[in-house]
Structure 1
Amino acid sequence: MSAPVIDDRAPFALRGHNPDVLTCIANLSNDEVFTPPELANQMLDTLADAWAEAHDGASIWEDPDVAFLDPFTKSGVFLREITRRLTEGLAEQIPDLWKRVDHILTKQVYGIGITRLTALLARRSVYCSKDATGEHSVAMSFDRDWGNIWFERTEHTWAGDKCAYCGANRAAYDRSGELETHAYAFIHTTDIKARLARMFGADVQFDVIIGNPPYQLADAGFGASATPIYQHFVRQALALEPRMLSMVTPSRWFTGGKGLDDFREEMLGDTHIRQLVDFPKLYDVFESAKIRGGVSYFLWDANYDGPCVVHTFMNGEEVGEPATRYLGDYDVLVRRNEAVSILEKVLALGEPSFASKMPPRKTFGWSTTFHGVVDPAILSNPVQVFGSRRVSWVERASITTNAHLTDKWKVLMTAAQGTSAAVETKFLSRPIVAGPGTACTDTYILAGVFDDEESARCLERYLRTRFVRFLVSLRKITQHANRDVYSFVPAVPLDRRWSDAELNERYGLAPDEITFLQSQVAAHDDDVSTEPADA
């Protein structure tokens, strides 16, 4: 077979074309989000800078022996951009363009498709042909049609109702051969090195692993409920012992996330993470994917051991100054560098956490779906119940859990607070002061219980301050506002109706810290709602 005609105009100058085809394709789902070329190139720039710093200024794009793997390729954008950069960087070492491209594609660039469709798309992006041995392919030395971009259908391994590897729900993902299983080969094995040796050959050692993994698997029958899976990809990539790893993930792992506690602890304690680049604003990176809490990417370096440089980007620009700090200074990741000094001043006083003083969840034993009757007149001794979207009533004798609290003054907070806004600014709903003769469902959490109204009003005022809501924001990255988000909030004496000015003075906040705090949290108006808020 004769070599195709290749010149400097194609196919490796695609970045300058308008439009780039990879900016025009729609996401398959929120589980499989295509990476914009701009983000891929930002990650590759971060990688190249770190490589140069670790290798006495050497360019990674001028090294013909570095092998790259995208183990969850979708559009092929990472592999395409790596190929373009290597094609430029290796020009002096391998002057013949055809030989240079063939070397890169057969010896340096590897991928694993997450579905049959994305594997074909990635091959088309990298080889200019879905068949790596076809007449239009720019790689000439392959003897297999998939080249170095592998895909084979993988099945889940069912252990009861769940997959033993990824936790997929059997009712949703036990599928016929015509449908994708979404059983990703990279995470469906206990020996990832052996699996990749079977794919690409035992002699291939991947120096750099980079990409954007699937984020979650929807649970059958539970709507928005989903099981995160990106942590499995991170762990498997690390098990391959690369020299560097860079991966974009949702930022929910910073503070919460279903089943992510162990992963968060691992990440915060990993001093090989050299850089973390955070995008807190909804839709800032993925315009059509609603990823609450934003996304981020990290760069892990096997030969680095120390603090991490943390960057924050919004609207395409870096905000604030990058800061070098240890991610594990707290049990969650404080994502904004400017917030760290404020938190340090608050914690320096050694006061108890407000969260430790709060009553337990489901104080009265009712779930969010519970409703009493609409008309209290039909009850002999009615108790008002604050619930989801409405007030209802129950017979006092029917309350079997913490019934004595019904006759106390209570401060209620919604257990979920958030909107579809690109940036959250309120973080907590307005507190509800509920007098004697009231209770609530799990739509609300009890912030405090008192014998007198004035104490309840003091707590209400404290929880409305920007100071409190700012400290909540450091732990609240999604809609959930459970007791844990109050862990940084100090339990101040409720001997007054605190103002922000008094709290700023109490903790010695500097003018620039106050300015930053106020820029992050919108003020509540002066009207305090005594009606139940929408959950």
Structure 2
Amino acid sequence: MSAPIVEGKATFALHGHNPDVLTCIANLSNDEVFTPPEFANQMLDTLEQGWAESNDGAVIWSDPTVTFLDPFTKSGVFLREITRRLTDGLADVIPDLEERVDHILTKQVFGIAITQLTALLARRSVYCSRDATGPHSIAKSFDRDWGNIWFERTEHTWEGGRREFRADPLTGREIAVFTNRRCRFCGASESEYARDDALETHAYAFIHASDIRARIAELFGADMQFDVIIGNPPYQLSTGGTGGNGTQARPLYPRFVEQAKAMEPRFVVMVTPSRWFSGGMGLDSFRESMLADTRLRTIADYPDSSDVFPGTQIKGGISYWLWDRDGAGDVTVETYGTAGLVSSSTRSLVEKGSDVFIRYNEGVSILRKVMSVEHEGGEVVFSLPPEKRFMNLVSSIGSFGLDTGFRGNPDSREGDVKVYRNGGVGWIERSAIPRDSPDIDAWKVFVPAAGSGSDSFPHSILGKPFVGSPGTASSWTYMYVGPLESENTARSVCSYIATRFFRFLVLLHKPTQHATRPVYTFVPMQKFSEHWSDDALYEKYALNSAEIAFIESMIRPMELGNE
């Protein structure tokens, strides 16, 4: 016999967890990360504030008609914490505790689980029973065992590919098969994700639908219009391809964001990787759509993801954001570190003339001083003319066509080109270089194409640059700056790259550890006839003591040595 629900004691385990089991669960993977309860509650605090600002100070938790959907439920922490807050907030509206809890669970909170396992976990978290109709469930009027937390296995929809004819291994007959097909909705590779019933397909229901409104009506048996969509979606999915020397992973969270907005809720609150701030592989169009959407009202940014998800490093950090369907204007940008809130500023989502979101509030004033500015109708516009952009000296990745697996010959022969590669150097005949270039015969500066994998600060941002003499090239492991007119010019460029000032400007446009050409967008050209130092650059751009202190708190010193 189940224990009675007693007013004030909340024996249905919404209060007083000791310990809270949801703080003790290991993550499924780096891409399907469980949200800590404390962080979920911070997001709910932001939602509460946003709701009040848009509804004349009304408290969202005191409204028995507001509906919530977590369309990528894992532990059920969002639904559980929403239920806890509604249980307190609706006490005057529905005085009887059992009736109040039943109303909340059957009429206000809904979830779509991402796997069978997380469905069971979420129901246990929210209903105190894996079966919403079971004897221990705190919901009393469900007529379906899954309650309002739905899960059924969803299959990918394969399309494209190539038709081939092969011999059937059993009969020897020629049969037609399709290869290289991908899912229409998420881009998953059939070779990786066409699985039998014993394995999860990772075909998430919320994004495997052409008409999301119709799909939601199918799931919950009604034409649902949710007021709030909230949660922490899966971040990426392997596509089975290769890029450079690794397996490609397609960003998946943009699809969840697009589907959530398509449902036109009042608010969306979502945790996502922060890589979209500057774009990158598979994120450029998503970045453009997000930066054009003035309904983003709050961005809470964690440059080091381990400050939220201990033991999990998500390159470029993570952030959560609040989107208000009926509100538009400036965005409040909050930056958090290990000790909590570092800075907060309400400002434009996109600085005039910039193509990315400036992540750090302190970076806006610095960038305004560094970039050339024009005045159009009184507005300050970032406008660095092409001839003043350092980026124009930077090569594209893989300029010589030698991939990261290149080793070359250990010894040189007359006429060979010296190739800087992963782990050292190798030699190759000029005629064997896939992409010959006159820059091989020029002075240049090589810079690692990837920095340190750490997101902790102060950070080096870039690997150490070094001078490349005429007759040198590189594999994908390095980018190069050039062509340069002399060794002295190259050494001047190296001194510039080594400054904290230079690497801070790179940081403002660098979403991950990869340092491809666009990350140099904000870096201005200099006269490369002298050795550059931070002091000289700080003075040239009139940075104040606070701005200098911020740069030096973010960027680690770099010693070049005698390369």
Q: Distance in 2 between matches of 1:406 and 1:63?
A: 69
Structure 2 contact 439–482 (Cα < 8 Å) conserved? no
Structure 1 contact 3–140 (Cα < 8 Å) conserved? no
- In the alignment, structure 2 segments of 5+ residues that lack a partner are 162-180, 374-383
Tell me the residue number matched to 2:169: none
Q: Distance in 1 between matches of 2:100 and 2:3?
A: 13
Tell me the residue number matched to 1:336: 360
Change (3 A) 1:200 1:463: same
Within the candidate set 185, 210, 230, 1:190 is matched to: 210
Residues 1:374 and 2:410 aligned together: yes
1:8 is displaced (CA, Å) by 2.9
Amino acid at match of 1:467: F
Deviations 1:503-522 (A, max 9, x none): 11222212211111111111
Structure 2 contact 71–112 (Cα < 8 Å) conserved? yes
More strand by share: 2
User: Which structure 2 residues correspond to residues 72-91 of structure 1 after superposition, within 5 A?
Assistant: 72-91=72-91
1:398 is displaced (CA, Å) by 3.3
Tell me the residue number matched to 1:394: 428
Amino acid at match of 1:410: K
Change (3 A) 1:6 1:172: farther
Tell me the residue number matched to 2:187: 167
TM-score by length of 2: 0.90
Tell me the residue number matched to 1:114: 114
Tell me the residue number matched to 2:322: 299
Structure 1 contact 367–441 (Cα < 8 Å) conserved? yes
Within the candidate set 490, 496, 506, 1:472 is matched to: 506
Change (3 A) 1:360 1:249: closer
Backbone CA RMSD of aligned residues: 1.9
Q: Distance in 2 between matches of 1:198 and 1:163?
A: 22
Deviations 1:151-205 (A, max 9, x none): 1110000113211101111111100011111100100011000000111133421
Q: Distance in 1 between matches of 2:390 and 2:519?
A: 10
Amino acid at match of 2:139: A
Residues 1:511 and 2:534 aligned together: no
Tell me the residue number matched to 2:255: 232
Q: Distance in 2 between matches of 1:509 and 1:356?
A: 25
SS across alignment from 1:312: strand
Identical pairs, percent? 56
Deviations 1:283-316 (A, max 9, x none): 1111132211111000001111101000011115
Residues 1:496 and 2:530 aligned together: yes
Change (3 A) 1:413 1:7: same
Residues 1:45 and 2:45 aligned together: yes
Amino acid at match of 1:231: P
User: Which structure 2 residues correspond to residues 191-210 of structure 1 after superposition, within 5 A?
Assistant: 191-210=211-230
1:397 is displaced (CA, Å) by 4.0
Tell me the residue number matched to 2:178: none
1:492 is displaced (CA, Å) by 1.7
Tell me the residue number matched to 2:559: 525
Structure 1 contact 308–327 (Cα < 8 Å) conserved? no
Q: Distance in 2 between matches of 1:134 and 1:416?
A: 53
1:359 is displaced (CA, Å) by 3.5
- In the alignment, structure 1 segments of 5+ residues that lack a partner are 531-535
1:328 is displaced (CA, Å) by 5.8
Tell me the residue number matched to 1:133: 133
Q: Distance in 1 between matches of 2:6 and 2:235?
A: 37
Residues 1:487 and 2:524 aligned together: no
SS across alignment from 1:375: coil
Tell me the residue number matched to 2:170: none
Tell me the residue number matched to 2:380: none
Q: Distance in 1 between matches of 2:128 and 2:445?
A: 63
Q: Which moved more, 1:115-124 or 1:399-408?
A: 399-408
TM-score by length of 1: 0.95
1:415 is displaced (CA, Å) by 0.7
Amino acid at match of 2:91: A
Amino acid at match of 1:472: V
1:264 is displaced (CA, Å) by 0.5
SS across alignment from 1:214: coil
Q: Distance in 1 between matches of 2:2 and 2:560?
A: 78
1:363 is displaced (CA, Å) by 2.7
Q: Distance in 2 between matches of 1:5 and 1:466?
A: 60
Deviations 1:228-264 (A, max 9, x none): 1011001000000000110001111111332011111
Amino acid at match of 2:364: V
